[in-house]
Amino acid sequence: MAREASIRQIGVRLSGGAQKSNIAQRHVIQQLAFALMWLAAILTVVVLLLVVGYVLVEGARVVDWEFLATPPRGGLSAEGGISTTLVTTVYLVLLTAAIAAPLGIGAAIYLVEYAGEGQGTSGLTAFLVSVARFGVELLAGVPSIIFGLFGYALFVVTLNALTGGFSLLSASLAGACLVLPVIIRASEEALRAVPRAYREGSLALGATKWQTIWQVVLPAAAPGIITGIVLSVGRIVSETAVFFVTLGGSHHAPQSIKQGGRTMALHVYYLAMDTRAFEKAMGTGAILIVTIVMINLAINLISRRLTAGLKGR
């Protein structure tokens, strides 16, 4: 019924215009409209090339091996390279992933395998699960500075004795909150894509539910889950606001997780805003863009293998 009604509506909408314009005119209008849309798409690509090209070309002037291998001098001087910020970025990515990945993957496994469609949960558990789903959705929309604000209040100030205040630990805890929804969503999707027959086969062979998940479902879902983790690595590398208010900004490399530092992205900010050292900032930005491009390539490679693998089966 509804479809009939809307098809009739379509007919009404069409007859209004069709009478007025002849066929040639209609084609001219269409060509014009499509040309504008081509323009929009081409502009999008041009904007990308402009931003990326400018930063890479300007950045290439200062980037060399020495730039990568010397630590920044710090203070208001723009001397030195970015070695310690590279190290801090790697530390932060590893620590954040170590915190967020187990939690996120665990949550996704529960949501899909134990509380998914057709699973009999009732009462309080069902309510908590729907609340948790809502929580993931909510977290995904929260702007990063709110995670920063919260991380500052909880990890930097309240738990100062445990985290050392502005530190790698505070920053990666706040960062983990930021990327948790990314990991949960990607893992959920990957787990859902595993065919039911895999689970049924394993259960029929006498494996317990957990054995089935651990030895059959997780290996099959691994590429999708890894994509989620790589995505969140990209988020951490490019995120600035959260770490601006939790990581402290020291230009030294942290010696322990209780010490602060600055990531490459933060270094770009400090160079541009405090020192006005735009050339060095461009150099650091260029390294950032190269990193992000490599991360995107990795994701595309994994997902291509994933689709190829599923087709092969």
Q: Which two tokens stand for residue 152?
A: 């500052």
DSSP bridge pairs for 80: 72
Q: Is 233 in the site for another protein (CB under 8 A)?
A: no
- Whether residue 286 contacts residue 63, with contact meaning beta carbons closer than 8 Å, is answered with yes
Residues 15-74 close enough to bind another protein by CB under 8 A: 17-18, 26-27, 29-30, 33-34, 36-41, 43-45, 47-48, 51-52, 54-55, 58
d(CA 95, CA 183): 15
Provide the token pair at 255.
């010696």
For the window 77-96, what string marks contact with another protein as x by the rule CB under 8 A?
--------------------
The vertex-12 CA angle with 9 and 17, nearest 5°, equals: 135
Contact set for another protein, span 257-296 (CB under 8 A): 265-266, 268-269, 272-273, 278, 281-282, 285, 288-289, 292-293, 295-296
Binding string, residues 135-154; x marks residues near another protein by CB under 8 A: xxxxx-xxxxxxxxxx-xxx
Query: Is residue 98 near another protein by the rule CB under 8 A?
Result: no
**Widest Cα–Cα separation across the chain:** 78
Q: Is 282 exposed, middle or buried (0-12, 13-18, 19+ CB in 10 A)?
A: buried
Kindly state whether residue 119 participates in binding another protein, applying the rule CB under 8 A.
no
DSSP letters of 138-161? Answer: HHHHS-HHHHHHHHIIIIIIITHH
Question: Does the footprint of another protein cover residue 204 (CB under 8 A)?
Answer: no
Cβ proximity to another protein: between 114 and 222 the closer is: 114
The span of 7-15, 71-79, 90-98, 193-201 binding another protein (CB under 8 A) equals: 7-15
